[in-house]
Amino acid sequence: MKNLTVVTDVAMAEVGAKKTAKLFSSHPQAGFPSPGDDLVEKSLDLNDLLIDQPSSTFFVRVSGDSMEGSRIFDEDILIVDRSKEAKAGTIVIAAVYGEMVVKRLEKLNGQMALVSTNEEYKPILVNDSEDIYIWGVVTGLVRNI
């Protein structure tokens, strides 16, 4: 298991200072070319687009390959909201024996488990006697291409 790094200095460090980019009204086609335009629709603040609850939202950097089946790769940055309820089927950040991991929370044979989407990793069963804590729910992902 590899650790996740919590990026607290990025997470809402400048709440008062808005950093925006221009959102163009043109929608680039992923197929055949379409005539574009140079009209700016509005300014877009990525915080407004990606973050619902600023006070409970953090960014974490992924380390490892256990979630590649969910298209979460090494060095991706996850947006994690600690105020959201973790339900079966959601991707979560969990503390497992003091180590942070990213997994999908699923119900297996009537028991909750933290499941990787890479078949090389076994599920981690969640029960009351284990040292496992759901830290937050993944709500988005940021990646450079």
Tokens found for residue 74: 């090494």
The catalytic residue among 22, 84, 87, 103 is 103
Can 87 be counted among the known catalytic residues?
Answer: no
Strands 20-24 and 5-7, bridge-based pairing? unpaired
Which contacts qualify for 18-25: CB closer than 8 Å, 24 or more apart? 18/45, 18/47, 19/45, 19/46, 19/47, 20/44, 20/45, 21/46
Active-site residue among 19, 22, 66, 122? Answer: 66
Are the CB atoms for 18 and 45 separated by under 8 Å? yes
Count of alpha carbons within 13 angstroms of residue 51, beta-carbon side: 21
Catalytic site includes residue 42 = no
Residues annotated catalytic, as ranges: 66, 103
